[in-house]
Copies of this chain bind each other. A is one copy, B any other.
């Protein structure tokens, strides 16, 4: 059930059988949510975090006038709001981009796991710090990259992250986001997101249709994006 999460962890650190039991013991129950449903609302009190088992989620923030910015996307194996363990209330919404299933992880279980297995505590601290690293890369995108470079960069990031949980093939992956949702990740209008995708197609870098992204020229896409996967910290860590 939490297989993608364990798969992701095991690429970073070795997990003993005992630790695996502790991790599996974190989950109290699961919950299914529909596309567009809010899983967490900004400001609400939390006593559990959500581990994504199936589907895609997004963290998003709104301005009072209604403009929406997605600050991170989540794919299976990700914790959508592990930082809620220490923050208790979170500064953003978590919404479902597709119909999804999440595992509910009560905070008191994380706490006792971290006290029993300090190394696992550091592993989960590490995961929230990788979230921070992704946020910084997105800030770099939003502040300095052009629309086409931002779009390319997002496609590259998702490719690496999905590959890490076995959800990408060599040439692409299933992409359930609409152009509106992509535009909310990239700080663009829908219209310009559309033109940007067309330009990526025209340059022969990608194909995107019927919920599937095909990367035709990975080298070229990385070039446009100025992409370097180091900020994802996918390789083995000593924690």
Q: Which residues of A contact B (CB under 8 A)?
A: 43, 59, 61, 63-65, 67-69, 71-72, 83, 85-88, 91-92, 111, 114-115, 118, 121-122, 125-126, 128-133, 135-140, 142-145, 186-187, 226, 230-231, 233, 237-239
Partner of A187, one of B88, B111, B142, B238: B142
A65-B226, A86-B239, A88-B238 known; 7 new pairs, CB 8 Å cut-off, are A43-B230, A64-B226, A83-B133, A91-B133, A91-B231, A128-B128, A143-B187
Assembly CA distance A122 to B65 (angstroms): 35
Which B-chain residue is minimally distant from A82 (CB atoms)?
Answer: B129
Chain B nearest CB: distance from A85 CB in Å? Answer: 8
Assembly CA distance A186 to B144 (angstroms): 10
Chain B residues within 8 Å of A126, by CB:
86-87
Q: How many copies does the complex hold?
A: 2
Chain B residues within 8 Å of A135, by CB:
71, 132, 135-136, 139
Which B-chain residue is minimally distant from A132 (CB atoms)?
Answer: B132
B144 near A69 (CB under 8 angstroms)?
yes
Assembly CA distance A40 to B91 (angstroms): 29
Q: List 5 A-B contacts (CB under 8 A).
A: A61-B137, A63-B144, A111-B122, A128-B128, A135-B136
Which B-chain residue is minimally distant from A59 (CB atoms)?
Answer: B136
B125 near A91 (CB under 8 angstroms)?
no
Assembly CA distance A46 to B57 (angstroms): 33
B128 near A129 (CB under 8 angstroms)?
yes
Most chain B Cβ neighbours within 10 Å, of A91, A121, A230? A91
B121 near A71 (CB under 8 angstroms)?
no
B43 near A86 (CB under 8 angstroms)?
no
